[in-house]
Structure 1
Amino acid sequence: MAITPEALKQSRQVIDMYEAYADRYDEIVGNEPIERVKAALKRLAAEVGTGGQVLEIGSGAGREADLLEDLGLHVRRTDATQRFLEIQAARGKKGELLDVVSDPLGGPYDAVVALCVLFYVCREEIAAVLNKIAHSLRAGGAFLVSMRHGDGEKNGDYQTVLWRRDDFAQLLEQAGMAIVWDEFAINSGNGDEWITFLAIKGS
């Protein structure tokens, strides 16, 4: 299915926002993931096993990839924002430019990680993106994803798409992935609601 001009426009707006905000974002997030994200990443690592090949979509400052590598996984770090890749390069970490909406993902991977990134994808495009991710996984490969929870969209300089747990779960299943774990959480700082899923691709 062809990518719509609206999806490309939205993707560009998000990238431009992070190009300007990346340094401040790096300061805010600190040197390691928050505890619930650490726990989810450890759950993924246990599912994949030492030496697994992981594609990370939206690596940002790279702290989640650091943890995955410490847990024995090999991570292909990617982001659509050049400034994030420069921040990682300053720490000796190599990343690649990749836009999950418009670029091929390669593979097959043992796992794909997409934390705090796919809620920027237009509602009309998300099924196609999830199918692309599923196709990049080997049979039995794992997908760890977190989404903003709620209804509708929030519009400003860029759009954030909110998802109800069951609606997004259905999309994962339609893409050929079975959910083995999920979690609902509320951000203590701003009250944002999150859903995180670990799903396994079928044979």
Structure 2
Amino acid sequence: MTVSDTTGQGGEASRSASNTSTLAGYEGCADEYAETTAPKPETDDQPALVELLKVLEPASRLLEIGSGPGWDADWLEERGLVVRRTDGAESFVQLQASRGRRAERLDVIGDPLGGPYDGIIALHVLQHIERELLPPVFTRIAEAIRVGGVFLLALREGQGESAEIGSKGNEYYVALWPRAEIIAILDTLGFDLRWSHSFEGREGRWLTALFRKGAPQ
């Protein structure tokens, strides 16, 4: 699952080397990614999605950024929510189409997000956005969520930036963020932290957090 390319002045596409390589990596590994992340029949361990369900009404409308194979959207739709599936990689859009699901190509940095939604989900995807571009993306996300709506985020914790090599040899750009900094940025946009969980994954430490958008002061 991935974002699309960065955009420059006037909305013109302006690919950085990091975005180009990251996107190319996901374009080439959709089937492999889907296989390695597929839900296991013997478990239904989705703590972040369970927390999301607790604060949403039935039939709530969600935007999912970086849907990838669509496993999380499947889980949510099975429980009565309406999910707009999007991804920056055409390979994932086509993979979902082959599964009978409708997904759209979306550049979270430059394309209109639509809304207002009852919630937006961005799990394990926004770490690929360059550090200086993520706060403006958060602003766009905030503008697309109704007052009282929610934002579910999973982001890599830490300091600095890195380039990681995937199984196909592509470099994936990753920005690491201190937990306190992410919470502070979202606080300035009117988001209150409702739930959070940190865990160690094979790529490092992840912060998963659920925020609610409050009324303007």
Judge same fold: TM > 0.5, yes or no: yes
Greater helix proportion: 1
Q: How does 1:49-68 map to 2 (within 5 A)?
A: 49-68=57-76
When normalised by structure 1's length, the TM-score is 0.91
Does 2:179 correspond to 1:171? no
Aligned to 2:205, which of 156, 177, 193?
Answer: 193
Identity %: 38
Q: Is the 8 A contact 1:7 1:122 kept in 2?
A: no
Match of 2:143 among 116, 135, 144: 135
| Contact 2:19–2:173 (CA under 8 A) maintained in structure 1 | no
Using CA pairs under 8 Å that are at least 6 residues apart, name the structure with larger relative contact order, 1 or 2: 2
Say if 1:31 and 1:7 are closer, same or farther in 2 by CA, change over 3 A: farther
Aligned to 1:152: 160
Q: In structure 2, the residue corresponding to 1:85 is in which secondary structure?
A: helix
Structure 1 residue matching 2:29: 3-state secondary structure: helix
Structure 1: which 5+ residue stretches go unaligned?
none
Aligned twin of 1:23:
31
Match of 2:168 in 1: none
Determine the structure 1 residue equivalent to 2:101.
93
Task: For 2:36, give the aligned amino acid.
Answer: I
- Is residue 115–residue 145 contact of structure 1 (8 Å, CA) maintained in 2? yes
**Unaligned residue ranges in structure 2 (runs of 5+):** 1-6, 165-170
How many pairs does the alignment contain? Answer: 199
**1:92-140 deviations in whole A, cap 9, x for unaligned?**
1000000111211000000000000011111101110000000000000
Taking structure 2 as the reference length, what is the TM-score of the superposition?
0.86
* One-letter amino acid of the counterpart of residue 202, structure 1: G
Distance in 2 separating the partners of 1:194 and 1:75: 24
Aligned twin of 1:121: 129
Kindly report structure 1 stretches of 4+ aligned residues shifted beyond 6 Å: 4-7
